[in-house]
Amino acid sequence: MFKRLISVVRHAKKYLLIIVFTLPASVWAQTTAEGAQGAVSSRSMLASQVGLDIMKQGGNAVDAAVAMGFALAVTYPSAGNLGGGGFMMLHTEAGEVLALDFRETAPGTAAENMFLDDSGSVIAGMSTETHLAAGIPGSVAGLLEALNKHGTFSREKVLAPAIKLAEEGFPLPSDIATQFSKHQDKFKKYAGSARSFIKKNKTYQAGEIWKQPDLALTLKLIAAQGRDGFYKGKVADLIVAEMEKGNGRISHNDLLSYEPVWRKPIHGTYRSFEIWGMPPPSSGGILVQQILNMLEPFVLDKSRRNQDETLHLMIEAERRAYADRAEYLGDSDFYPVPIERLIDKTYAKQRFSDFDVQKASNSDEIGPGAWPEESRETTHYSVMDAKGNAVSVTTTLNTAYGNKIVVDGAGFLLNNEMDDFSIKPGFANTYGLLGNKANAIAPNKRMLSSMSPTIVTLNGQPFLATGSPGGSTIITTTLQVLINVVDHNMTLASAVKSPRFHHQWKPNKVFYEPGALSEAQLSVLRSKNHVGIIPSPWKIGDANSVIKRKRGFISVSDPRSMGGALAY
């Protein structure tokens, strides 16, 4: 459909707007699809189309996921990326479940106090809006590692669709055009960003063809040379030159030494299902399992959905798990994270022994600035094929468009992931998350993440691939999708659509989406001493998921945003 659209547009530019606005909505977004051969779900219809096409050409779910990762860097620039990082959970057709960490890494010259002034105070904006905010990008190395080990297609073949989209352009969806306009003042500050996002001093309009020639060149170098096309040579020179313009610290040596890491997945059970999640440097897998462990002794079946006691129970479990996160979690290569203890069912029992059915426990209020004004963007995509491969990937630049700095000449944005470190003990990051020594900055350390790409298996087979963006709310979003499917027996579409709520220990607040808590439930929660129950300023999460049912694959893209669920 899009290919046709692009060629029509090229020949009849003046009719563009008419064409775009009369296109069926399904060109821009599709929330569900079913098929027996394979299924994909992502935040970008174009990227989903790329993944589906790869599988239709005989590629497996890994080939599709890698192609989608590169395509998202072109079609969904606020979070899809070459200059960021992420995590991939993978169920192989041989029945193994693997976890690939391609998180960004602090540069070799990073220092614990690098975002503090001489008096030890945090310098506002330094860990989010500067060259110094960028960690060493991991996505290119990570995607290529997944392809090398578990893909079947060549690098050139999986990169071809992304190159084409960058080179020939595509009609800009309205939500992305709005974002370009929103961030234009920041983009104008950097030559590379202005070249990518601003056209002759104006922002692009919805439906206009948006091309990214510099990004196309970078992608071609990666296709031709593999990781060396990014971490060495021209692109590496451009990254280092960009760093020099703004006192950034990523060096040639940092780029050369970046490595993705295969890690032991967090593995636990919940009722009759096995849950596989991401270990540190993400907190996602541990927290999801820890909360599930605390909930498991309680009956949460369909009849308990949205009941006051269920909400109270979930909030209390979340409070305790996030408190542990702040104290114990960080990059386990640098800090002894007590992983086994945290995901142990006996520990959950003990940790939850002070749970009071009648009353909320108390997390002290924290100061202002705990909840972000910054718009938040990360992206999750899921893929399954009929051979038994399932892939669940969450990737990000951290906040929307990362540090907003496009590497001049290379056409991709840099992340601002350094803010995910605890830049000072007790100082809340963009998502209001606190941390301590475990997540302090150190050279070559990876900052703690909440990203929770998850694979659920049943009787040894992939059952569900899910995950979400949303900073600290990633974990509670993923959890709610799981509980909705496993306990409340909901269809995947309803499980994903269902309004969400979130508690993260500190700030001591319950954030909820419209419809998540009724007036009656609000008063019950207040009567149990829950404080700070407020409507979330954001839609919570964007859980693009795929499930395997008896009749085949069902893919669902979260209706909170314009994404693409496709299957065949």
- Provide the binding-site residues for ligand DON, judged by CB under 6 A: 376-378, 396, 398, 417, 420, 449-451, 469-471, 474
* CB closer to ligand DON out of 310 and 398: 398
* CB closer to ligand DON out of 51 and 469: 469
- For residue 86, the minimal CB distance to ligand DON (Å) is 8
- For residue 180, the minimal CB distance to ligand DON (Å) is 18
Q: Among positive and negative, which fits the CA dihedral 359, 361, 364, 370? A: negative
* CB closer to ligand DON out of 134 and 163: 134
* CB closer to ligand DON out of 164 and 263: 263
Judged by phi (left if over 0) then psi (alpha if -120 to 50, else beta), residue 158 lies in: alpha
- For residue 393, the minimal CB distance to ligand DON (Å) is 13
Place of tokens 């996602």: 284
Tell me how far apart the terminal alpha carbons of the chain are, to the nearest angstrom: 15
Residue 383 half-sphere exposure toward CB, CA atoms < 13 A: 32
* CB closer to ligand DON out of 316 and 377: 377
Q: Given the DSSP bridges, would you call strands 261-263 and 376-385 parallel, antiparallel or unpaired?
A: unpaired
Q: What are phi and psi of 544, to 5 degrees?
A: -80, 115
- For residue 468, the minimal CB distance to ligand DON (Å) is 8
Place of tokens 């590692």: 145
- For residue 424, the minimal CB distance to ligand DON (Å) is 18
Place of tokens 């709520």: 501
* CB closer to ligand DON out of 64 and 474: 474
* CB closer to ligand DON out of 363 and 378: 378
- For residue 456, the minimal CB distance to ligand DON (Å) is 21
For 10, the 3-state DSSP assignment is helix
- For residue 538, the minimal CB distance to ligand DON (Å) is 8
* Angle, helix 308-328 to helix 473-486, in steps of 10 degrees: 140
Q: Among positive and negative, which fits the CA dihedral 74, 80, 85, 91? A: negative
Burial of 159 (0-12, 13-18, 19+ CB in 10 A): buried
Burial of 144 (0-12, 13-18, 19+ CB in 10 A): buried
Residue 109 catalytic? Answer: no
- Integer Cα distance of 346 and 26 in angstroms: 48
- For residue 438, the minimal CB distance to ligand DON (Å) is 15
* CB closer to ligand DON out of 162 and 418: 418
- Integer Cα distance of 212 and 217 in angstroms: 9
**CB count in 10 Å sphere of residue 25:** 8
Which member of 92, 130, 310, 378 is catalytic? 378
Determine the residue type at 83: G
> Do 493 and 485 contact (CB within 8 A), yes or no?
no
Angle value at C-alpha 282, between 54 and 332, nearest 5 degrees: 125
> Do 309 and 357 contact (CB within 8 A), yes or no?
yes
Place of tokens 């008063």: 523
What residues are labeled active site? 378
